[in-house]
């Protein structure tokens, strides 16, 4: 029998996070798929290819670069084909139109053949030079190594503040733990990618889906660079919609808020109703109180419209999911030479 005090037992406990890990062979080099969605990125694509190739060649690993053309209107596709003509490790997934980053990324994951998949933005905001560090973590046994931004260069304080508030909120209202300041920049093992491929919902909040899949994961802190060239495709309207997407995809909390708010108002209304009736019975009914009546009617009308709006958000999403359309269509697929 173990007669040590509980605290002593605790001391012997290994780090909780490490228990689930099975380290991979020390020098083992997996094959890589570097996946990058690109929408109008002609200014940076060549530089992207150069920097990624340098890193991968220094590593000495077998790799492919999966470029997803998300319906670009500039020379992006043409450039991709130029790159592929020079480098058979480039794989091109040319979507039939612009489907948005989340779906473009999904298309890339669907066509990645490597044992390990790294997701990068084509605009070089996620430094490919971190891939060796990610690999080291993968060798420790982690299935997911996700980049966490410690500093965001070239972004306004308003964007930083709203992003921060959003992650706080979503963490509190949803059951999956979506790490703060995390983008799509990450390394994933094959089994994680396979599980991701099983999630075919139309409303894709990728950060949330990545978090939902789970598996042993570890952060890698890095400084997010400013865009190498070109412009961001985000504006505040997009970000707002993105936030709604994130919340409605992962929690029904807004519906519950409507329920409880309605319930409390109903209880208050009942009490007030009793008071009004009692007063009329005791002291007679003198018509008064037009302002308070208007205030209550308008307030309740507003709350009802808001609650219907919230319900509408969910019903709209149900509508989109039941159509069960394919997530994207491919105009042309030009795979790399990497063997599966």
Q: Residue numbers of the site for ligand UDP (CB under 6 A)?
A: 37-39, 41, 70, 98, 100-101, 104, 121-123, 125, 232-234
What is the smallest separation between the CB atom of 275 and ligand UDP, expressed in angstroms? Answer: 54
Q: Among ligand UDP, Mg ion, none, what does residue 98 contact (CB within 5–8 Å per kind)?
A: ligand UDP
Q: Among ligand UDP, Mg ion, none, what does residue 233 contact (CB within 5–8 Å per kind)?
A: ligand UDP
d(CA 30, CA 25): 11
Region binding Mg ion by CB under 5 A among candidate stretches 89-97, 116-124, 199-207, 210-218: 116-124
Tokens in use for 337?
């030479």
Nearer to ligand UDP (CB atom), residue 100 or residue 216: 100
Nearer to ligand UDP (CB atom), residue 142 or residue 166: 166
Dihedral over alpha carbons 138, 129, 54, 234 (to 10 degrees): 110
Plot region of 215 (φ>0 → left; ψ -120 to 50 → alpha; else → beta) = left
32: nearest Cα among 219, 215, 193: 193
DSSP string, 196-254: HHT---SS--HHHHHHHH-SSEEEEEEEEPPPSSS-----HHHHHHHHHHHHHHH--HH
Nearer to ligand UDP (CB atom), residue 199 or residue 226: 226
- Which of 125, 217, 251, 336 lies at the binding interface for Mg ion (CB under 5 A)? 125
Q: Among ligand UDP, Mg ion, none, what does residue 122 contact (CB within 5–8 Å per kind)?
A: ligand UDP
What is the smallest separation between the CB atom of 327 and ligand UDP, expressed in angstroms? Answer: 14
Region binding Mg ion by CB under 5 A among candidate stretches 56-64, 78-86, 121-129, 132-140: 121-129
What is the smallest separation between the CB atom of 324 and ligand UDP, expressed in angstroms? Answer: 22
Opening angle at CA 318, ends 315 and 320, nearest 5? 115
What is the smallest separation between the CB atom of 232 and Mg ion, expressed in angstroms? Answer: 5
Tokens in use for 247?
């919340």
For residue 74, the 8-state DSSP code is S
CA quadruple 57, 58, 60, 62: dihedral sign? negative
Nearer to ligand UDP (CB atom), residue 64 or residue 143: 64
Nearer to ligand UDP (CB atom), residue 68 or residue 192: 68
Question: Under DSSP, is residue 279 helix (H, G, I), strand (E, B) or coil?
Answer: helix
- Binding of Mg ion by 40 (CB under 5 A): no
Applying CB under 5 A, which residues contact Mg ion?
121, 123, 125
């Amino acid at each position: 029998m173990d007669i040590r005090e509980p605290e002593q037992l605790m001391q012997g406990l290994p780090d909780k996070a490490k228990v689930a890990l099975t380290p991979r062979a020390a020098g083992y080099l997996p094959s890589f798929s570097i996946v990058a969605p690109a929408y109008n990125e002609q200014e940076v694509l060549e530089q992207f290819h150069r920097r990624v190739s340098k890193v991968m060649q220094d590593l000495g690993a077998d790799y492919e670069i999966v470029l997803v053309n998300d319906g670009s209107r500039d020379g992006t596709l043409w450039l991709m084909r130029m790159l592929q003509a020079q480098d058979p490790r480039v794989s091109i997934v040319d979507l039939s139109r612009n489907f948005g980053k989340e779906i473009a990324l999904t298309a890339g994951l669907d066509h990645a053949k490597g044992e390990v998949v790294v997701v990068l933005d084509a605009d070089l905001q996620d430094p490919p030079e971190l891939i060796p560090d990610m690999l080291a973590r993968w060798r420790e046994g982690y299935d997911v190594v996700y980049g966490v931004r410690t500093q965001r260069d070239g972004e306004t304080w308003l964007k930083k503040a709203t992003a921060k508030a959003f992650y706080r909120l979503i963490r509190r209202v949803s059951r999956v733990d979506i790490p703060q300041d995390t983008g799509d920049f990450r390394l994933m093992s094959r089994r994680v990618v396979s599980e991701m491929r099983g999630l075919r919902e139309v409303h894709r909040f990728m950060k949330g889906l990545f978090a939902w899949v789970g598996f042993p994961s570890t952060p890698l802190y890095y400084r997010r660079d400013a865009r190498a060239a070109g412009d961001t495709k985000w504006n505040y309207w997009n970000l707002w919609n993105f936030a709604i997407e994130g919340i409605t995809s992962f929690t029904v909390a807004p519906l519950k808020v409507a329920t409880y708010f309605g319930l409390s108002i109903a209880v208050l209304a009942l009490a007030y109703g009793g008071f009004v009736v009692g007063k009329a019975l005791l002291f007679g009914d003198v018509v008064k109180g037009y302002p308070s009546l208007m205030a209550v009617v308008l307030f309740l009308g507003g709350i009802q419209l808001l609650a219907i709006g919230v319900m509408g958000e969910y019903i709209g999403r149900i509508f989109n999911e039941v159509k069960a359309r394919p997530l994207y269509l491919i105009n042309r697929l030009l795979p790399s030479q990497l063997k599966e």
